Structure 1
Amino acid sequence: MKMPEVDWPPTIEPVLGEDAAEIASRLADAVAERLAKALEVKDRASMAVSGGSTPKPFFEKLREMPLDWSRVDITLADERWVATDSSDSNERLLRETLLQGPADKARFVGLKQKHDTANAGQPLAEAALAEMAWPLDVVILGMGNDGHTASLFPDAPEIDGALDESLADRCMALHPASQPLPRLSLTRSALEGAEWVALHLRGDDKMDTLMTAISDMKAIREMPVRAFLGAGVRLFWSP
């Protein structure tokens, strides 16, 4: 397949390839390099990753990297408000993929708390996140075909607050009308403050969505991923 010819905005650094495994490997190498550099200058490094099927090969590559994993904090960009053993749980995905082998020594900070509702669990998640090293060293985001990233959905009633760059909260409960489950998501301010942000996408449909997003970077409310496309992001994409 011919790679898309795009006049990329200066805030987007594209890494494109025809093979998903190759892109996953290149992303894993880049993330490991960033985490290793962080550990050279401070006691702990921190990272937030996203769920879904796209990052699985990346997780399997990253977990084998020769890092001092015992000094790495890992959390999620977002989580569905379900039991952590549910097939819908991003935490379960991470425990079955990334947090294996050498990477099982990392400290995982989950977003799902022992409360019936995301709103009630948010303060506990906020307290747990405060134990990590901030700002985050690495953030890996995905993107939906509606332009959402993490759980920053354009149809969530709470989206304006979650996109507020001055918000002190690192996470927020969101209830998108398009989604069957409530969510807890890291906020724009928490994600955007990271030292290094990557967007990991797979599929022609995602490239089409991305082209729509970069066509009007200022309309963040309509496609929240634009907040990160305009702030500086590394794009890792394959068909």
Structure 2
Amino acid sequence: MAISELKLPQGVTAHEYRTPALLADGLANDVAEQLRTAISARGEATLVVSGGRSPVAFFQQLAKQGLDWSSVTITLADERWVPVEHADSNAGLLKQHLLQGPAAKAKFLSLYSAAANLEDAAEQADRLLVELPGIDVLVLGMGDDGHTASLFPDSPNLGDALAPDGTRRCWPMLAPTVPHQRLTMSRALLATAKYTVLSISGSAKLTTLSAALASDDVAAMPIRAFLQPTLEIYWCP
């Protein structure tokens, strides 16, 4: 199956690449151009990215882009509730692969805090995100279960976190099949992004995307909430 075989909603654009390396390079170029446009217009730009191992090559390519990084604010769509030094920290991943060289001049807003419990950490992150300028670029991934950010099917708080008109910016979230508790931006906050990308690879992700396109149940397939006009999908086999 290729992404060209899917019936995408009107306004959703698909970009197909032959290899993960080519996808990472193409996505980095396009994201950098969006950030340059925002800086030119407003003097600043905000980038929200997803963690995990999948976007590492993209982070490495983006770090090489010629940008006024001191004018860029970067934060995460979601975070595991572990210290930055932990091997599973998304913030640690960014510091290792994106916030290097000139890109280290970017301002980084971390969702993690060593609070007493996950709920307290989410409330602290919610207050921190008040400082976030409008989101210029959002780069999402997707799991085989249809989750995006840390909006997991069957997780407590999912209904509130998926509310289109919710006012809370960050929610505590549990991933049913992995050990770490999570913090995730709400659907309402993520949906404010001016430019949204879904970056996926492999046939299994296309199968999941096809199922999401056929479903009306956002709670069962949270990625469904973001399959809206203007979405840019980047895919490679």
Q: TM-score, normalised by structure 2?
A: 0.95
Amino acid of the structure 2 residue aligned with 1:138: V
Q: 1:198 to 1:171 in 2, by over 3 A?
A: same
- What is the CA–CA distance in structure 1 between the aligned matches of 2:119 and 2:227, rounded to whole Å? 29
Matched, 1:214 2:209: no
Following superposition, the deviation at residue 111 of structure 1 comes to 0.4
Q: Give the AA of the match of 2:112.
A: K
Shift in Å, 1:131: 1.8
The answer on whether the counterparts of 1:49 and 1:77 sit within 8 Å (CA) in structure 2 is yes
Query: Post-superposition shift, 1:106?
Result: 0.2
**Which residue of structure 1 aligns with residue 114 of structure 2?**
114
The one-letter amino acid of 2:13's match is E
Aligned to 1:189: 188
Provide closer, same or farther for how the CA distance between residues 2 and 171 of structure 1 changes in structure 2, counting only shifts above 3 A. Answer: closer
Offset of residue 126 of structure 1 = 1.8
Q: Say whether the 8 Å CA contact 2:79–2:184 is kept in structure 1.
A: yes
> For residue 22 of structure 2, what is the aligned residue in structure 1?
22
Query: Which structure 1 segments of 5+ residues have no match?
Result: none
Q: Deviations over 1:146-188 (max 9, x none)?
A: 0000000011110000000111111111123333221100100
Report the identity percentage.
Answer: 40
Q: Report the aligned-residue RMSD.
A: 1.5
What does 1:23-102 align with in structure 2 at a 5 Å threshold?
23-102=23-102
Dislocated runs of 4+, deviation >6 Å: none
**8 Å contact from structure 1 (residues 140, 197) kept in 2:** yes
Paired residue for 2:124?
124
CA distance in 1, matches of 2:187, 2:172: 13
SS state at 1:130 partner: helix
C-alpha displacement of 1:79: 0.4
Partner Cα separation in structure 1 for residue 21 and residue 175 of structure 2: 32
- Is the partner of 1:230 in helix, strand or coil? coil
Tell me the CA shift for residue 8 of structure 1. Answer: 2.1
Partner of 1:223: 221
Aligned residues of 1:81 and 1:117 also touching (Cα < 8 A): no
Alpha carbons of 1:54 and 1:225: their partners in 2 closer, same or farther (altered >3 Å)? same
Moved more, 10-19 or 151-160: 10-19
Displacement of 1:138? 0.5
d(CA) in 1 for partners of 2:100 and 2:117? 29
> Which residue number corresponds to residue 139 of structure 2?
140
SS in 2 for 1:123: helix
Report if the CA contact (8 A) 1:11-1:229 is conserved: no
Q: CA deviation at 1:231?
A: 4.9
